[in-house]
Structures are given as C-alpha cells and as structure tokens.
Amino acid sequence: MTRALYSLCGADERHLFSPHCWKAVMALAHKGLDFEEVPTTYSRIAAIGGGFSKTVPVLDDNGRLVSDSFDIALYLEEAYPDRPSLFKGEGGKALSRMIEGYSQMIIHPAVMRIALLDIHSILDEGDKAYFRTSREERLGKPLEEFAAGRDAEREAFAAKLEPMRHMLKFQPFIGGDGPLFADYIVFGALQWLRIAAGLAMLAPDDPVMVWFERCLDLHESRGRTVTAA
C-alpha cells in the first residue's frame, strides 16, 4: 500500500510550512494511517498527477487523488470509518466549517502580515519570483509595503485568539476531551506562524499556547518534526 501527501516546502525540503498541509498531516496521523510526506515547492505542484491541482496538499491514496485539506479530511472519514473519527458526526463537520471561517478570515490575514517576508525568504529562487508576483497581484501592493505594519499586527495578534481562550475554559480541545479536525484547522494556522516567524507574541502560559503545545505533542509529536523559526 502506498499513500503519499504532497506538502509545500521551502528551499530546504525539511521546511514544511503550509497551514493547509499541516491540517492534512494531522488528519492522517489522527486516523493512524501510514503515509509518506512528499516535500513540494510551488514550481513542482503542476507535476502532481499530471496537473491534478493548482495547490497542495494533495493526497494520493493508492492512486486516488484528493486535494484541499477539508476535502481530504472528509475523504479520510468516509474511506476509513473504522479509524478514529475526525468529526464525530455531522455536528463536528459543521463545527469545523465554522472554525475554518474563523481561522481563514481572522487568523490567516494576521499571520500573512506578520510572516509574509519570512515566508518569502525561505523559498527557493524560482518560488520567490512566483510568490512575489502572485501575492503582490492579490494584495495590490509590494510585499514590503504590506508587511510594514507587522509590528502592530504582532501586538494585536493575541487578542484575535480570545474566542479560543473562552472555549479553553471549558474543555482541553475544540473537539472536547480530545482533538478533532476543528483543532487541526487552528493548529495549522499557528504552526504556519511558528515555523515561519515564531510565536514569541504569545506568552508560554497563555491558554492558547498551552493548547498548542498539547497539539504539538499529539501523534508521537508529529508537529515538532519541523523546528520553529
């Protein structure tokens, strides 16, 4: 049996930093499935499955290709129902969609402003050109101009996690007593920041950091296999 997950990397193939890829990594680990993680630069994505997807992660499960981290989680839930559940029912799927919105609309924009130049710096030369052009088109301004407010964003970042702190007063994970895919969504966002720029803006005793450390320890400390910035 061969199972491969194509994950975004920097010039150093050990530098696997994508939040979406980390969601898929943790979902596979949660299911207890063996897989090979294939480091993939932006320039190599087009070669996966003959151009199957423009983005990673892409899961190749014995020839079955699935892209998008949420779709990968849904596929794993359906294909491996005898393994630990990522959602624990339709309510867990709905919860995960809400958490996905919170993460991508609130946390991701902040991480982008904080870590944008750090991400650019870890890419290989070919990817740097692509990253600059594509992001500047999306942002409507040079990377350096967009990142000019990174210090202010660092100072404001902790407040954006207040909903997490409220939740953590009642339970150790978003999923309750144990993690679900909803946890891996926010974990992926903070892991992205940890690897690209570090998490010094959060105090060690911050409840969110305590939760994040718990997540890093999950699945034989899979999250710690890539070092922090």
Write the pLDDT tens digit of every residue in 67-86.
999 999 999 999 999 999 99
- pLDDT in the model for residue 2: 86
HSE at residue 92, side-chain half, CA atoms within 13 A, is 21
- pLDDT in the model for residue 48: 97
Q: What are phi and psi of 50, to 5 degrees?
A: 65, 35
- pLDDT in the model for residue 44: 97
Low-confidence ranges of the chain (pLDDT < 50): none
Q: What are phi and psi of 105, to 5 degrees?
A: -95, -25
Instruction: List the domains of the chain with CATH numbers.
Output: 3-79 (3.40.30.10)
- pLDDT in the model for residue 163: 98
- pLDDT in the model for residue 1: 60
CB contact at 8 A, 99 and 182: yes
Termini Cα distance of the chain? 35
CA dihedral in degrees (182, 99, 68, 8; nearest 10)?
-80
User: What is the Cα–Cα distance from 41 to 1, expressed in whole angstroms?
Assistant: 25
